[in-house]
Amino acid sequence: MQKLHYEKVKESISGRAQLVVVTKKRSDEEVMAFYDCGERLFGENKAQDLIAKAKRFPEDIQWQFIGHLQRNKVKQVVPYVSRIQSLDSAELAKEIEKACAKADKVMPCLAEFHLALNDTNKTGLSADDASGFIRDMAQYPHIQIEGIMVMGPHTEDEQEIRAVFAEAEQLFKSLQKEFGSDRIRILSMGMSDDYQLALENGSNMVRIGTYLFE
């Protein structure tokens, strides 16, 4: 744990955002140091790794699935995950509904949007039909859409990152207006390199790995 970095993040998010500690590829000891500091939201982007960690870690951890979720992995992760932040297609939603109906569990989900223009990472929904997608989810009683997740573009260009985050904030606000801010309440945005910019643009949940550990 990088104590100074952790303190800096805690200070930045204080009163405005929740922290998801991204634990991918970290040892149990490294992860537990954050648990011992009181952190309970941990994020993983691989189904196998999330399941393995969830099985050996304390039960009050709320595991967040943050990576691209393959449809054939949904059934396995459902029992262990507290929120799927990467709902990025109608097909995946269908699969989540099926698995959660069977498990008798309502899954909190964030719709993941792809807003970066020049980016090879193409997972994520298009913003063009954001409201249509969320309206569509009403047909699934076992999916609860709580907000949106957005990744910043892979670039050093601060203006470009700001532009994407500003667009995300606009999208978030317009969805809140349409569906109610009690329902659409999470804007998950910001990682090690760009969390400050994300906070300036209304993020209320940051997902940070590298900066906290290294």
Ligand X SMILES: *Cc1c(COP(=O)(O)O)cnc(C)c1O
Chain residues that interact with ligand X, rule: CB under 6 A: 22, 24, 45, 66-67, 191-192, 207-211
Closer residue to ligand X in complex, CB, 65/140: 65
Cα(58)–Cα(28) distance, integer angstroms:
11
Closer residue to ligand X in complex, CB, 45/204: 45
For the bound state, the minimum distance from the C-beta of residue 22 to ligand X, rounded and expressed in Å, comes to 4
For the bound state, the minimum distance from the C-beta of residue 42 to ligand X, rounded and expressed in Å, comes to 12
Closer residue to ligand X in complex, CB, 68/94: 68
Which three-class secondary structure string do you get for 94-155? HHHHHHHHHHCCCEEEEEEECCCCCCCCCCCECHHHHHHHHHHHHHCCCEEEEEEEECCCCC
Cα→Cα distances 64→38, 50, 126, 164, 181, Å: 16, 9, 22, 23, 21
For the bound state, the minimum distance from the C-beta of residue 187 to ligand X, rounded and expressed in Å, comes to 14
Which residue's CB comes closest to ligand X? 209
Residue 112, token pair as written in the block: 């993941």
For the bound state, the minimum distance from the C-beta of residue 101 to ligand X, rounded and expressed in Å, comes to 26
Residue 108, token pair as written in the block: 């909190």
Closer residue to ligand X in complex, CB, 130/152: 152
Closer residue to ligand X in complex, CB, 45/142: 45
Reduced to 3 states (helix: H, G, I; strand: E, B; else coil), residue 64 is strand
For the bound state, the minimum distance from the C-beta of residue 139 to ligand X, rounded and expressed in Å, comes to 27
